[in-house]
Structure 1
Amino acid sequence: MVVQAKMTIDKEFKIGEIDKRIYGSFIEHLGRAVYEGIYEPDHPSADEQGFRSDVIELVKQLQVPLVRYPGGNFVSGYNWEDGVGPVAERPRKLDLAWRTTETNQIGTNEFMDWAKKINAEVNMAVNLGTRGIDAARNLVEYCNHTSGSYWSDLRISHGYTDPHKIKTWCLGNEMDGPWQIGHRTAHEYGRVAVETAKAMKWVDPTIELVACGSSNRHMPTFAEWEATVLDHTYDHVDYISLHTYYGNRDNDLGNYLAQSMDMDQFIYSVISTADYIKAKKRSKKTINLSFDEWNVWYHSNDADKKIEPWSIAPPQLEDIYNFEDALLVGSMLISMLKRADRVKIACLAQLVNVIAPIMTEKGGEAWKQSIFYPYMHASVFGRGTALHSTVSSPKYDSKDFTDVPYLDTVSVHDEDNETLTIFAVNRHQTDVLSLDADVRSFEGYKVVEHIVLENDDVKATNQHNRSNVTPHSNGDASVDNGQLSANFSKLSWNVIRLAK
């Protein structure tokens, strides 16, 4: 069977410029993300600092522009001073967030070195759980002040003459969550966040700050939390954060693939709340969104309950992703691009081993999970201006969602390089989706590639066969007289690239 969909794409129907940081990721001191992930000094590929060069090469393929660090829940109990200075003198500490032992072999300076190797900026989080204003402003001084002060001179004594010039900073992590070390009410967090923000910007007025939003849309304090926090912090922060994770626990594929619609509503709700506070304050400033944790996460939940407490770098949150997960990740990327006018930062959580597109074997290879591919395609080809497209698609209903379009899509125009990229997911479980798209606005553009990620087994993974879930470029998209036609196979992720 074939179902029909239509679309009109016009270069004047602009959503907004895509901030490259929307393709960011996240490394937390959690599980094997740092140790045995990015850092394994005994590995055959390890460089002079102990970083795995095979991992670096895979991260470079993703063109990750920004990496959030060092947490996550971990940051709410972290003393950053434990991770600087001579490695032999650094203390081992109990990490209460994940009930493991942190060796502090890797800290701020080493991570900044790693970020340079992958050509990424760092989105640095400060501890507003067990600590506050003083530790945060000292960290900004250590990282960003040139010289001539206690903390900047300490950095220089540690071998880093030039400041790190970190631009983006998170004011804590998930402070609305009872699981968080130092959990606060919205008023308590808002007060400490605004005073910390003021002090940090007094040290370096050029930095941008992300205030903690709700840990997910289904928190009992959602929306009221955002309103209260922004009421306190509006004049001193630049972004409000969003976090969300999805899973197919009920093994209901139609409902699972519709969960990006929950993400859509989350985004719209936070925008509305932020704009309410803007109106309330009669402000000319607009608060944008930082979706600094998002992904599929559920496969590893049972295994994580069996981990021995206080071990070092145990295999935590090691979801092995399948083909259906890649489809949802593609739709989640589409959701954020559809609001690229307001979602300016996003961090796929996380990057290596921990709910990650890249997995490593200790002493062995690094390999790509199924979700690696939609993330890579969006990051590499999704630079430019996101476009509004008028879409007519058949729809279906699922357990939790109504009017779910089989075609989930967004288009990106790179005016400088004269390219148009269409990202599309066919959610239909049995039928090919035939697309007719009006692209007359892009005169002279031709299809240069139609990438397809498809698999007959929605549970297929790359764990034992590394090429089991991989894309091909045999899609049939073509353009004739300003009309683009393409067939999207059932349950497929598609990238159609056009160029002039």
Structure 2
Amino acid sequence: MQVSAAIHRDFTIAAIDDRLYAAFIEHMGRAIYSGIYEPGHPQADEHGFRRDVADMVRDLNIPAIRYPGGNFVSAYNWEDGIGPKEDRPVRLDLAWRSKESNQVGINEFAVWAKDLGIDMMLAVNLGSRGIEEARNFMEYVNHPSGTEWSDLRRSHGVEQPYNVKMWCLGNEMDGPWQIGQKKASEYGQLASQTAKALRQMTPDAEMIVCGSSNDEMPTYPEWERQVLEECYENVDYISLHKYFGNSSRDTLNFFGKVEETGRYIQAIGGVIDFVKAKKRAKNDVYICFDEWNVWYHKREQDSANWRSWDWPEAPALLEEDYTFEDTLFIGCLLNEFIRRSDRVKIACIAQLVNVIAPIRAEADGPAWRQSIYWPYQMASLYGRGTALKVAVDGPTYDCAVASDVPYMDIAAVHDKAASAVTVFIVNRHLSEAADLRTTLTGFPDATIDFHKVIEGHDLMASNGPGAEVIAPTKGTGLAVADGVLGGSVAPLSYHVVRLKV
């Protein structure tokens, strides 16, 4: 298979927002309890957080994290998670049919996030609650002192405000599964007024309004139009959510869903432009893709369990075992986010630990990196800078969800500060290696700094405790000569090539 590609220093897409590599964690299943927090664990720190999990999170260099939900937030009283732990109520979590102990709330989570250098992106409950509760939450979190809620925070041992800048205005408010589901115009008005109230306290806060729960909703993309027409001038981002699966066991169609995602982003970008023009607005609204991941391996099983159990506390839920096939898909999806970085400024892998997550942790046991950890880490570490256009000429295929899908998926990022260009390459072909030739115009003295590869595994292989078999190794077969990055790229392989320029 012959593939040629071209990268030009001056043909750029956009400056990549570091938050393109953000994450999400919800009070759901074992994400919090026995995920990041387990006071009795041998690895627990003085606050009860697991050091082994924290070390794996730290190695991802995550810039921001969305919290506390998700579906959970739409019936959540944030006040339940503050004050002395022994006085906190145990509540029924209506989203996931379980008990919530409230032993981790905003202050505990803030300690964990600060220790890892992660900014918080907080979600407010616009399902069962509204403007007043959101306003009080921000006052508790962001106001210095001298008011009821800020002084209450100080009485809880937190003298300085958190100065949280990113605020999600509810979650999936179009969904019939959501507590407090609303019509688009109703929700748009509530989101607009909530954003206005919150900005009175934190003028530079960034507001994220809910888009469709996914691109298969019957109201998509009309939902986005109606919502934005109500709140466009008062928000900065509209959220997109999408989960992926391969229940049909059609690998190439699974990989083609990356192209489908590109269409999703393009469509919502068009809606944004339409509303901006219609309203003669001056501000820009971007996309926050704040829930994305592979989710299908245990979905039917979990659905049956979840609907039958009797309100357990921190039950195992959505604990996917990710495969090598998923690794390749996630590598391609991250490439698509890089290519769409002019529209997508924030994206959050959902979720971070145990629940559809790159990290798994057993209660009172070990933690390990799932196969999808690695492309996420590679993109986060080396995919920061300016996205470059990559022109690819090579064989394509058609599938159920897309046509003309390139077998070779390539993205490139120029990090001027580090004098580096990183090229992310996935060969999606099931059996053929690619003879790749990539011209590097504007980078005459490029040399390979390092080359990492994940390849050679059965598509259904996965990692487990003490057996992280799927991980990057040193790559071979690619070299730079006369301004061309070229060589052989094995079928079903993921590559990260860091060039000094």
Give the TM-score taking structure 1 as reference length: 0.98
Change (3 A) 1:387 1:275: same
* 8 Å CA contact retained: 1:297, 1:355: yes
Q: Measure the CA separation in 2 of the matches of 1:31 and 1:268.
A: 33
Secondary structure of 1:148 counterpart: coil
Deviations along 1:188-224, one digit per CA (max 9) or x if unpaired, are 1011111111111112112100000000011100111
TM-fit CA distance, 1:466: 2.0
TM-fit CA distance, 1:401: 2.0
* 8 Å CA contact retained: 1:440, 1:481: no
1:284 aligns with 282
Counterpart residue type for residue 101 of structure 1: K
* 8 Å CA contact retained: 2:189, 2:230: yes
Q: Percent identity?
A: 50
1:350 aligns with 351
Aligned to 1:69, which of 67, 70, 80? 67
Counterpart residue type for residue 300 of structure 1: K
TM-fit CA distance, 1:465: 5.8
Counterpart residue type for residue 60 of structure 1: R
Q: Does 1:234 align with 2:232?
A: yes
Aligned to 1:48, which of 28, 31, 46? 46
TM-fit CA distance, 1:407: 0.7
Q: Measure the CA separation in 1 of the matches of 2:130 and 2:487.
A: 54
Secondary structure of 1:333 counterpart: helix
Deviations along 1:273-302, one digit per CA (max 9) or x if unpaired, are 001001101122110010000000011213
Q: Measure the CA separation in 2 of the matches of 1:316 and 1:55.
A: 18
Secondary structure of 2:354 counterpart: coil
Aligned residues: 498
Q: Measure the CA separation in 2 of the matches of 1:14 and 1:440.
A: 12
Show the 5 A alignment for 1:381-396: 381-396=382-397
Deviations along 1:323-356, one digit per CA (max 9) or x if unpaired, are 0011111111111110111211000000000000
Show the 5 A alignment for 1:154-233: 154-233=152-231
* 8 Å CA contact retained: 2:98, 2:310: yes
TM-fit CA distance, 1:457: 0.6
Aligned to 1:118, which of 89, 111, 116? 116
Q: Measure the CA separation in 1 of the matches of 2:53 and 2:346.
A: 23
Deviations along 1:34-85, one digit per CA (max 9) or x if unpaired, are 0000000011110000000111100011111111000000000000000011
Show the 5 A alignment for 1:321-332: 321-332=322-333
Between stretches 476-485 and 28-37, larger displacement belongs to: 476-485
Counterpart residue type for residue 401 of structure 1: A
1:78 aligns with 76
Aligned to 2:88, which of 75, 87, 90? 90
Secondary structure of 2:8 counterpart: strand
Q: Does 1:369 align with 2:370?
A: yes
* 8 Å CA contact retained: 2:260, 2:401: no
Deviations along 1:290-317, one digit per CA (max 9) or x if unpaired, are 0000000011213312242310000001
Counterpart residue type for residue 171 of structure 2: N
Q: Measure the CA separation in 2 of the matches of 1:148 and 1:5.
A: 65
Counterpart residue type for residue 492 of structure 2: L
1:58 aligns with 56
TM-fit CA distance, 1:456: 3.4
Counterpart residue type for residue 37 of structure 2: Y
1:496 aligns with 497
1:312 aligns with 313
Secondary structure of 1:10 counterpart: strand
Counterpart residue type for residue 335 of structure 1: E
Q: Does 1:105 align with 2:106?
A: no
Secondary structure of 1:63 counterpart: coil
Q: Measure the CA separation in 1 of the matches of 2:455 and 2:218.
A: 38
**Consecutive unaligned residues in structure 1, runs of 5 or more:** none
* 8 Å CA contact retained: 1:175, 1:212: yes
Secondary structure of 1:131 counterpart: coil
* 8 Å CA contact retained: 2:2, 2:394: yes
Between stretches 454-463 and 292-301, larger displacement belongs to: 454-463
Counterpart residue type for residue 276 of structure 1: F
1:485 aligns with 486
TM-fit CA distance, 1:357: 0.2
Q: Measure the CA separation in 2 of the matches of 1:117 and 1:466.
A: 28
Between stretches 379-388 and 469-478, larger displacement belongs to: 469-478
Deviations along 1:430-489, one digit per CA (max 9) or x if unpaired, are 010121011131121101111111133100000266232111112322111111103211
Secondary structure of 1:484 counterpart: strand
Secondary structure of 1:383 counterpart: coil
Secondary structure of 1:235 counterpart: helix
Aligned-residue RMSD, C-alpha: 0.9
Q: Measure the CA separation in 2 of the matches of 1:38 and 1:434.
A: 44
Q: Measure the CA separation in 1 of the matches of 2:394 and 2:117.
A: 40
Counterpart residue type for residue 305 of structure 2: K
1:408 aligns with 409
Aligned to 1:139, which of 125, 137, 140? 137
Counterpart residue type for residue 278 of structure 1: K
